[in-house]
A and B are shown apart, each in its own frame.
Chain A
Amino acid sequence: MSALGELRTLKGQQSTDKRDTKVAYLFLLPWFAGLFVITIGPMLASLYLSFTDYNLIQPPEWAGLENFQRMLTDERLHNSLKVTFLYVFISVPLQLALALALAVLLDRGLRGLPIYRSIYYLPSLLGSSVAIAVLWRQIFGTQGLVNQVLALVGIDGRGWISDPSTALGTIIILNVWTFGAPMVIFLAGLRQIPRMYYEAASTEGAGRWRQFRSITLPLLTPIIFFNLVLQLIHAFQSFTQAFVVSGGTGGPSDSTMFYTLYLYQRGFQNFDMGYASALAWFLVIIIGVFTAINFYASKMWVFYDD
């Protein structure tokens, strides 16, 4: 990636490579303004609150490291970490693979592509609406559509949403179902690959699969990498889908209690915003570590043209 990748070239010549600083900061002016006026203040406030006992109504009271110590023994928190990791490591690869496959399929060469693309994108528009909450029950409920279909072939279904062992699965399906978002980014990325590469490969008699392997995939790596980083951050913060499907409970039996859902419950339902802030900053550390690993590993597989 850009900044970390640049570091290699920066090493040993740091003083000389700041040539663009003045004009670069001009380009970054809106971002600096946003950072200092809007973003930093509330972030620092929440960092401060993470060291306090704060019930939202009365002023916060300094509590030192108490909130962080509490995290060590909070079993519901440990469970929510487990749920979140499971979700991240199953749903992100699934969703990205599906998005990439369909982006390549829907890139060009078929009649009616714009319509297919739009239809496949439609679920992403709906993703978190109230309607989805009731719908998911109609589909995955004990007397829902899935079980009706299964009954036709003689299989006795179960309560997919209400059974703690399958509830998370339905949310993973919901997330994969909204693969339209990364698909759109892949589509845009595919259009950046010069056609002439394919033409040259065709002339040399390379098959479709070989073209995909040796042209599409390597040239798309910056975009794959972007989607990976983005979806990973998103998945760790995943809130709405579990909130909508479980009605905000994270149930049954905490089986869909995502980290941010737990944090939200602590903050807003239990009036424990100090602890919620501590949880949030711990999440920043987790996401930060995984993102850093991602960036570090990217040096080995992401191909930049520059």
Chain B
Amino acid sequence: MRDSGQRPRTVSRRTFGGLAASAAATAGLTACGGGSGGGDSGPAHLRFTWWGSDARHEYTQEIIKAFNAENPDVVVEGEFTEWSGYWDRLATTTAANDSPDIIQMDAAYLKSYADRGALLDLSKEDGLDTGGISDGDLALGESDGGLYAIVQGVVPHAIVTNTQILEAAGVPLPDDKTWTWEEYARLGKAVTDAGLPDVYGIQTEGVQGPPMENWAMQMGETLFTEDGGVGLNPDTLASFWEYHLGLAASGAGTPVTLTIERNPTSSALDQSGTATNTVAFAPWWSTQLTALAKASGQPLVLLRPPAQSPGGDPGLYYKASMYWAVSSRTEHPEAAVRFINYLSTADAVADLMLTERGIPANPAFRERIVDKLSDTDRAALEYVNSIEDVVNPAPPIPPVGGSSSGEIMTRIGSDVLFGRQSPDAAAQAFVDDLTGQIESA
């Protein structure tokens, strides 16, 4: 742990004007001497890092402030950035043995870090208190018998539906407890045929992972197996692609170019069909409803994904939206665990975070915030509660090397949509490629 550059923040951040800024910066420039030692007697310094955008940065810093006020022997300092820079920085600092103490973690990378020894096994630490988070949810953070991350929020799949477009197209809102993919396609076609300018019924898929995993779950399959292999049957993947190729071909769904352009891995949420009111139906994570509604300005509702047959399994499960993990190199594991307890259980956290990091895994949080939520956030919470009877156990998280599944899906999926590979051949290529990545990692 280095201490240089960690100056106590005595200046209020709102009044931190230009002059003070330049003075502080100059101090930074010249502070090349030995680190100003924190010493053993001083407070424990913890670096806490997360990804997000400005709304999240703002309230997370409030959380830190509240924690620091209650824990005078610990000083937590925040480091934040956006998603892709976050992982570059985390990889670099971890490689240099200088990773932050408390790390916001995603399921895709959890095993990549945990299985290589970068994270602390929290089950071996004293004093961990995660409140009422269920064992099932806690298991989302387990790897090889250890507990490496505490889930903060969960989030299920949903079809975000624009009711204003449906109305304008004269299409009734379907019953999402009984609808099927067949009906989905039919309704989509009716919307497109209504001829609203630039509007299509359905956002065609095929290049991003989550809708495909939802489809696989409906077939009783998961992308990965418990023992870290690929669990997906190529036929399942091929049928998923064939269905969506059918949507694009019939006009029920967007043309394939729009599918690739709007792939969330390369495009902003605000440029999506749902956000720009140019599709009626599109698959999303349910908590994205608020962001989508803000960009859209039109009424949006959450529906369960269609099933393979009437009344069949909609393939829903709770995905961990986010975790907290502790670096295995931290010098203050006790303080770090205390901070994680705080994030998991403190009322102040519930009040500030609401559902911004997913529907809280802690049921006490859910009860506490329900009256404080905006309409769309409450709708997302109610959706989660409403599906409890049909939800499946969560699929195994990606093994080491499996974090590239999304990238492989995007690449091979584009080939399929542009007719460069048949769905069958591409599905086999996907499974082979992913298996190779896992084996070589």
Task: State A234–B112 Cα separation when bound (angstroms).
Answer: 33
Given A159-B260, A162-B257, A269-B87, decide whether A254 and B411 contact each other with a Cβ distance below 8 A. Answer: yes
Give every chain B residue within 8 A of A271 (Cβ-Cβ).
91, 112, 441
Determine how close the nearest CB of chain B comes to the CB of A185; give it in whole angstroms: 30
CB of A252 within 8 A of CB of B418, answer yes
Contact of B260 among A133, A251, A273 (CB under 8 A): A251
Give every chain B residue within 8 A of A248 (Cβ-Cβ).
84, 265-266
Residue B407, interface by CB 8 Å: yes
Determine how close the nearest CB of chain A comes to the CB of B408; give it in whole angstroms: 11
Q: Which of B113-121, B153-161, B334-342 touches A?
A: B113-121
Determine how close the nearest CB of chain B comes to the CB of A300; give it in whole angstroms: 43
**1/0 per residue B378-420: CB within 8 Å of A?**
0000000000000000000000010110010011001100101
Residue B21, interface by CB 8 Å: no
Residue B95, interface by CB 8 Å: yes
Q: Which of A51-59, A97-105, A106-114 touches B?
A: A51-59
Give every chain A residue within 8 A of B256 (Cβ-Cβ).
159, 162
Determine how close the nearest CB of chain B comes to the CB of A256; give it in whole angstroms: 10
CB of A57 within 8 A of CB of B271, answer no
Residue A249, interface by CB 8 Å: yes
Residue A141, interface by CB 8 Å: yes
Q: Using a CB-CB cutoff of 8 Å, which residues 230-273 of chain A contact chain B?
A: 246-249, 251-254, 265, 268-271, 273
Residue B439, interface by CB 8 Å: no
Task: State A210–B113 Cα separation when bound (angstroms).
Answer: 66
Task: State A163–B92 Cα separation when bound (angstroms).
Answer: 34
Give every chain A residue within 8 A of B411 (Cβ-Cβ).
249, 251, 253-254
Task: State A121–B274 Cα separation when bound (angstroms).
Answer: 36
Residue A143, interface by CB 8 Å: yes
Given A142-B255, A252-B418, decide whether A268 and B260 contact each other with a Cβ distance below 8 A. Answer: no
Give every chain B residue within 8 A of A247 (Cβ-Cβ).
263, 265-267
Residue B369, interface by CB 8 Å: no
**1/0 per residue A157-182: CB within 8 Å of B?**
01101111000000000000000000
Determine how close the nearest CB of chain B comes to the CB of A63; give it in whole angstroms: 12
Residue A90, interface by CB 8 Å: no
Q: Using a CB-CB cutoff of 8 Å, which residues 112-147 of chain A contact chain B?
A: 133-134, 137-138, 141-143
Give every chain A residue within 8 A of B112 (Cβ-Cβ).
57, 271
Give every chain B residue within 8 A of A162 (Cβ-Cβ).
256-261, 414
CB of A253 within 8 A of CB of B91, answer no
Give every chain B residue within 8 A of A138 (Cβ-Cβ).
271
Question: Please, which residue of chain B has its CB at the minimum distance from the CB of A138?
Answer: B271
**1/0 per residue A16-30: CB within 8 Å of B?**
000000000000000
* Residue from the set A133, A134, A253, A265 with the largest chain B CB neighbour count within 10 Å: A253
Give every chain B residue within 8 A of A57 (Cβ-Cβ).
94-95, 112-113, 116-118
CB of A253 within 8 A of CB of B258, answer no
Given A141-B261, A159-B258, A161-B261, decide whether A58 and B117 contact each other with a Cβ distance below 8 A. Answer: yes
**1/0 per residue B202-213: CB within 8 Å of A?**
000000000000
Size bracket, chain B contacts: 35 or more
Give every chain B residue within 8 A of A253 (Cβ-Cβ).
411, 414-415, 418, 420
Question: Please, which residue of chain B has its CB at the minimum distance from the CB of A70?
Answer: B440
CB of A268 within 8 A of CB of B117, answer no
Residue B69, interface by CB 8 Å: no
Task: State A32–B199 Cα separation when bound (angstroms).
Answer: 62
Total A-B Cβ pairs within 8 A: 97
Give every chain A residue within 8 A of B92 (Cβ-Cβ).
56
Determine how close the nearest CB of chain B comes to the CB of A156; give it in whole angstroms: 11
* Residue from the set B258, B263, B414 with the largest chain A CB neighbour count within 10 Å: B414
Given A56-B94, A137-B267, A271-B441, decide whether A252 and B403 contact each other with a Cβ distance below 8 A. Answer: no
Task: State A56–B441 Cα separation when bound (angstroms).
Answer: 12
Determine how close the nearest CB of chain A comes to the CB of B205; give it in whole angstroms: 14
Give every chain B residue within 8 A of A163 (Cβ-Cβ).
257, 418
Give every chain B residue within 8 A of A268 (Cβ-Cβ).
87-88, 91
CB of A56 within 8 A of CB of B258, answer no
Contact of A143 among B84, B116, B198 (CB under 8 A): B198
Determine how close the nearest CB of chain B comes to the CB of A3; give it in whole angstroms: 34
Determine how close the nearest CB of chain B comes to the CB of A53; give it in whole angstroms: 10
CB of A251 within 8 A of CB of B257, answer no
Determine how close the nearest CB of chain B comes to the CB of A72; give it in whole angstroms: 16
CB of A249 within 8 A of CB of B266, answer yes
Residue B428, interface by CB 8 Å: no
**1/0 per residue B263-275: CB within 8 Å of A?**
1011110010000
Q: Using a CB-CB cutoff of 8 Å, which residues 48-98 of chain A contact chain B?
A: 55-58
Task: State A137–B415 Cα separation when bound (angstroms).
Answer: 20
* Residue from the set A134, A252, A253 with the largest chain B CB neighbour count within 10 Å: A252
Determine how close the nearest CB of chain B comes to the CB of A26; give it in whole angstroms: 25
Give every chain A residue within 8 A of B87 (Cβ-Cβ).
268-269
Give every chain B residue within 8 A of A141 (Cβ-Cβ).
261
Question: Please, which residue of chain B has its CB at the minimum distance from the CB of A58?
Answer: B116
Residue B81, interface by CB 8 Å: no
Question: Please, which residue of chain A has its CB at the minimum distance from the CB of B421?
Answer: A253
Determine how close the nearest CB of chain B comes to the CB of A293; give it in whole angstroms: 33
Determine how close the nearest CB of chain B comes to the CB of A201; give it in whole angstroms: 52
Give every chain A residue within 8 A of B236 (Cβ-Cβ).
none
Task: State A142–B257 Cα separation when bound (angstroms).
Answer: 7
Given A142-B258, A251-B414, decide whether A269 and B441 contact each other with a Cβ distance below 8 A. Answer: no
Residue B163, interface by CB 8 Å: no
Residue B437, interface by CB 8 Å: yes
Question: Please, which residue of chain B has its CB at the minimum distance from the CB of A250?
Answer: B411
Give every chain B residue within 8 A of A134 (Cβ-Cβ).
268, 271
Give every chain A residue within 8 A of B410 (Cβ-Cβ).
249, 251
Task: State A28–B354 Cα separation when bound (angstroms).
Answer: 59
CB of B268 within 8 A of CB of A164, answer no
Task: State A79–B268 Cα separation when bound (angstroms).
Answer: 27
Please, could you name 29 A-B residue pairs with CB atoms under 8 Å apart, sorted by A?
A: A55-B441, A56-B95, A57-B117, A134-B271, A137-B261, A138-B271, A141-B261, A159-B255, A159-B256, A161-B260, A162-B256, A162-B259, A162-B261, A163-B418, A164-B420, A247-B265, A248-B84, A248-B266, A249-B265, A249-B411, A251-B410, A251-B414, A252-B260, A253-B411, A254-B411, A268-B88, A268-B91, A269-B404, A273-B95
